[in-house]
């Protein structure tokens, strides 16, 4: 329940602006508002600020009073119950006249104080002293800002802009962020300025206004911040303003200043990785290691960074470190398993998966990777159980075609073992052995798309395109939704400049497996061949996003642009 209502001050008519000071209208609101903050402190002691609002030139805005209102009018305006004191005043050229009234409007005290708009807060100690005495309160009040001169003037203007925004009033200036920018320029190292500027930028972003103007001010402020907490908050504002690159660099600074904060470090490393800044990923992890706070997530993030840069030796050392952990978070376990399978270590991968599934039995991706591991270990029956469980739980749209294909491979007798013989021969570039193995495979399994797909791949590698084409079409006859067969056939037709048909098959492959990077690269080439250049560029960007080599993407893009 309110005890005190402090009204905005009136401003004598005809006062000229003072260079280096906030406008009198701003001072008339901010001096009483700061007084209210001083009296309430960190709690609510029932002191309220009351600005005067009304129509100005057809729009709702702050009203400027030339003289204080009649006490009865003040009593009628505030609409608060249990009010003990009313406070108002009037600013003149060189003095402040103010008064304290009781709840019914009877005057208790009137004081004239010398007033300098260039040092407007000098009157606050006296105002606070008198009002505390009237109320019979004890205790100290918060220290007033140490800002002086022009910096103080812009600080008060910015506080007034904040008040205007909180009241949903229209902009008073054609440069609504000028006050924030000037505060940063004049006193960016001041903690109160930093806090106020960030509060103002956050308010603009919440209201969805002036978003494009927020990032430049935030970037200027970043140079003055030295505390991790402030940098972290500013990074969030920068990210919300759409400048992800600067947001990343700022949050990395914060994480390096406070490496013991695991949540902050993990977020910074993830943002750096997503922005392609591998040096910052390493810096964050090294600072965390030095502080004894390197978590499995951080180590895994660095491993992913090294993998992206082709440093497989460094990646594998980190994987060995993570394998020694008794318990890994699910995302880390998935990443470690993928690297182990890359290095042909399915047994260790299976152990980690089984251990992680005990804690997270409903993770479809873990079951999917378990199926892959069991296949590599020559256990197709167990693989089939795991893959079916992954499909039942709901793998992503990207992996669903692959999961279904692996399930078929695991459930058709002899298909997995025969496919492995073909794949190994192809990897060794032993094409005669691959041809012999794939012929034996199709004789054994019959009308199974995966077997005929491999047959087409082998014939293509042998340079027999016509045979390869017939075999790939046969694979599609057995399974019209075999994404790999559409992709392989589309790539083959592209080599023969049968561009329209190539595009149709590659588009179908893309529809079936929208995040397959190889399909996206082929589709980009086919789209470019038939004149769909914008679409080609779009597919290349997606291919890079889903893991295609940056060198490959750049090379294809150069060819497209040259053509």
Residue-wise DSSP of 460-512: HHTT-HHHHHHHHHHHHHH-TT-HHHHHHHHHHHHHTT-HHHHHHHHHHHHHH
The closest alpha carbon to 511, from 540, 482, 536, belongs to 482
- Whether residue 418 sits in one domain with residue 390: no
Does residue 339 belong to any structural domain of this protein? yes
Does residue 468 belong to any structural domain of this protein? yes
Q: 141 and 41 in contact (C-beta within 8 Å)? A: yes
* pLDDT of res. 13: 94
Q: At how many degrees (to 10) do helices 211-222 and 228-240 cross?
A: 160
- Whether residue 121 sits in one domain with residue 21: yes
Please identify, among 105, 135, 165, the residue that sits at the C-terminal boundary of a domain.
Answer: 135
Does residue 75 belong to any structural domain of this protein? yes
- Whether residue 530 sits in one domain with residue 446: no
Biggest CA–CA distance in the chain, Å, is 108
- Whether residue 426 sits in one domain with residue 401: no
Burial of 105: CB neighbours in 10 Å, binned 0-12, 13-18, 19+: middle
- Whether residue 429 sits in one domain with residue 395: no
Does residue 128 belong to any structural domain of this protein? yes
CA angle 188, 201, 283 (to 5 degrees): 65
Please identify, among 441, 462, 480, the residue that sits at the C-terminal boundary of a domain.
Answer: 480
> How far is Cα 409 from Cα 420, in angstroms, rounded to an integer?
11
Does residue 499 belong to any structural domain of this protein? yes
Does residue 234 belong to any structural domain of this protein? no
- Whether residue 392 sits in one domain with residue 504: no
Domain count along the chain: 4
- Whether residue 466 sits in one domain with residue 538: no
Range of the domain at 472: 412-480
Residue 215 tokens, joined: 């990032």
Please identify, among 346, 377, 407, the residue that sits at the C-terminal boundary of a domain.
Answer: 407
Residue 109 three-state SS: strand
Q: What's the half-sphere exposure (Cβ side, CA atoms, 13 Å) at 283? A: 18
- Whether residue 60 sits in one domain with residue 72: yes
- Whether residue 131 sits in one domain with residue 14: yes
Which CATH number do you get for residue 451?
1.25.40.10
* pLDDT of res. 2: 58
Does residue 243 belong to any structural domain of this protein? no
Does residue 377 belong to any structural domain of this protein? yes
- Whether residue 54 sits in one domain with residue 102: yes
* pLDDT of res. 398: 75
Which CATH number do you get for residue 41?
3.40.50
Per-residue pLDDT of the chain (563 residues; tens, 9 = 90+): 458 999 999 999 999 999 999 999 999 999 999 999 989 888 888 999 999 999 988 889 999 999 999 999 999 998 888 899 999 999 999 999 999 999 999 999 999 999 999 999 999 999 999 999 888 887 666 667 889 999 999 999 999 999 999 999 988 888 999 999 999 999 999 999 999 999 999 999 999 999 999 999 999 999 999 999 999 999 999 999 999 999 999 999 999 999 999 999 999 999 999 999 999 999 999 999 999 999 999 999 999 999 989 999 999 999 999 998 989 999 999 999 999 998 999 999 999 999 999 999 999 999 999 999 999 898 989 999 999 999 999 998 778 878 988 898 888 888 888 988 999 999 999 999 999 999 999 999 999 999 999 999 999 999 999 999 999 999 999 999 999 999 999 999 999 999 999 999 999 999 988 888 999 999 999 999 999 999 999 999 999 888 888 888 899 899 888 87
- Whether residue 501 sits in one domain with residue 448: no
- Whether residue 124 sits in one domain with residue 13: yes
């Amino acid at each position: 329940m309110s005890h005190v209502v402090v009204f905005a001050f009136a401003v004598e008519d005809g006062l000229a602006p003072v260079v280096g000071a906030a406008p009198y209208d701003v001072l008339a609101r901010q001096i009483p508002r700061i007084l209210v903050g001083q009296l309430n402190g960190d709690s609510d002691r029932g002191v309220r600020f009351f600005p005067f609002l009304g129509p100005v030139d057809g729009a709702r805005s702050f009203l400027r009073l030339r003289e204080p209102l009649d006490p009865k009018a003040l009593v009628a305006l505030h609409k608060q119950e249990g009010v003990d004191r009313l406070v108002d005043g009037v600013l003149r050229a060189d003095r402040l006249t103010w008064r304290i009234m009781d709840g019914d409007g009877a005057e208790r005290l009137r004081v004239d104080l010398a007033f300098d708009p260039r040092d407007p807060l000098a009157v606050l100690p006296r105002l606070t002293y008198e009002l505390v005495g009237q109320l019979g309160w004890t205790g100290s009040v918060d220290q007033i800002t140490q800002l002086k001169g022009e910096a103080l003037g812009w600080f008060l203007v910015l506080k007034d802009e904040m008040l205007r925004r909180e009241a949903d009033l229209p902009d008073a200036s054609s440069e609504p962020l000028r006050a924030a920018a000037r505060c940063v320029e004049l006193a960016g190292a001041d903690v109160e300025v930093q806090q106020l500027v960030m509060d103002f930028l956050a308010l603009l972003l919440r209201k969805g206004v002036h978003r494009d103007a927020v990032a430049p001010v935030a970037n200027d402020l970043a140079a003055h911040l030295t505390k991790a907490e402030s940098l972290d908050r500013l990074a969030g504002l920068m990210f919300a303003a759409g400048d992800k690159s600067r947001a990343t660099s700022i949050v990395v600074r914060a994480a390096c200043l406070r490496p013991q904060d695991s949540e902050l470090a993990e977020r910074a490393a993830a943002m750096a990785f997503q922005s392609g800044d591998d040096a910052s990923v390493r810096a964050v992890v090294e600072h965390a290691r030095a502080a004894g706070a390197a978590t499995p997530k951080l180590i895994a993030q660095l491993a992913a960074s090294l993998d992206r840069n082709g440093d497989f030796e460094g990646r594998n050392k980190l994987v060995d470190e993570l394998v020694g952990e008794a318990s890994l978070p699910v995302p880390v376990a998935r990443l470690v398993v993928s690297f182990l399978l890359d290095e042909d270590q399915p047994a260790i991968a299976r152990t980690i998966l089984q251990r992680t599934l005990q804690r997270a039995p409903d993770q479809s991706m873990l079951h999917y990777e378990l199926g892959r591991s069991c296949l590599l270990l020559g256990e197709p029956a167990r693989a089939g159980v795991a893959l079916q469980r992954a499909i039942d739980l709901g793998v992503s749209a990207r992996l669903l075609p692959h999961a279904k294909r692996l399930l078929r491979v695991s459930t058709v007798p002899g298909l997995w073992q025969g496919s492995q013989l073909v794949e190994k021969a192809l990897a060794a570039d032993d094409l005669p052995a691959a041809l012999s193995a794939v012929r034996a495979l199709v004789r054994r399994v019959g009308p199974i798309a995966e077997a005929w797909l491999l047959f087409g791949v082998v014939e293509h590698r042998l340079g027999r395109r016509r045979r390869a084409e017939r075999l790939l079409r046969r694979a599609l006859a057995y399974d019209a939704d075999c994404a790999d067969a559409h992709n392989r056939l589309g790539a083959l037709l592209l080599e023969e400049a049968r561009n329209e048909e190539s595009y149709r098959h590659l588009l179908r492959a893309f529809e079936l497996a929208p995040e397959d990077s190889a399909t996206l690269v082929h589709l980009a080439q086919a789209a470019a061949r038939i004149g769909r250049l914008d679409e080609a560029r779009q597919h290349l960007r997606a291919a890079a996003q889903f893991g295609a080599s940056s060198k490959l993407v750049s090379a294809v893009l150069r060819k497209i642009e040259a053509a």
